[in-house]
Amino acid sequence: MVDPWEAVQPEYQPTAVVLDHVSHEINHNLGGIPYPPLSPPLPPTNLLSVPSPTTATPRKPARVMLLGGSDLLQTMSQPGVWSQSDLNHILDTHGLFIIERSGSDISDALAPLKEWSDAMGKNWMENIHVVRQLIANDISSTRIRQFLRQGMSVQYLLPKVVIEYIRERGLYREVEGFKESRASSMPPLRREAVDRAVKKWRDSVKAEGGERGGGKGEEEEEMRGREV
């Protein structure tokens, strides 16, 4: 299920609220999930036969849980980062799946959560499930956003269409505007975009009263050199 509700909200929505929304959509509006899971229908043995009326598919409530990396778990164990009431709601009502990542000590992050849980008479640990890392992989959304802010390349870390979407909208940038460079994290400008940029530069030079001489060719080559 893909739900765009959080993305279209005019204001930031806490994670606990988003989880409640998804749970409501699945369990209230959709009536839960099919159980047992639906199997593809078998082809009819007689093409002339009239299909039998379908019966209602049994459904059961779904438990919506939060999925994140071990860096998310570390933020939860830092006082003041998460609301205590939100943490209790997420870990007591929904639950958490944590993907282990290199360089993160999950046991150190779990210790404060267990202490807070015990102090509240809860048992959050039963609802926190750790997926151990068998192959080293430290790629995370947090690191990708850091690369983008620093102008580093994210090629091969994201699908090309996602990189183009981020570039076109100037997302995850600390400075206003957009500057393309060879070291940019965005894909190179397309040929048509380069041609438009060169034409715009030429027009601006002519408006100033003439060509700039020898420097023009170098600047134009630099602009076109951005395309791979």
Q: What is the pLDDT of residue 196?
A: 62
Q: What is the pLDDT of residue 8?
A: 92
> DSSP readout, 152-181?
---BTTB-HHHHHHHHHHTTT-SSSS----
> DSSP readout, 100-143?
--TT--HHHHHHHHHHHHHHTT--GGGGEEEE--SS-----HHH
Q: What is the pLDDT of residue 189?
A: 39
Q: What is the pLDDT of residue 187?
A: 39
**Which segments in the chain show pLDDT lower than 70?**
1, 37-55, 174-202, 205-206, 208-228
Interatomic CA distance for residues 31 and 18, integer angstroms: 18
Q: What is the pLDDT of residue 191?
A: 45
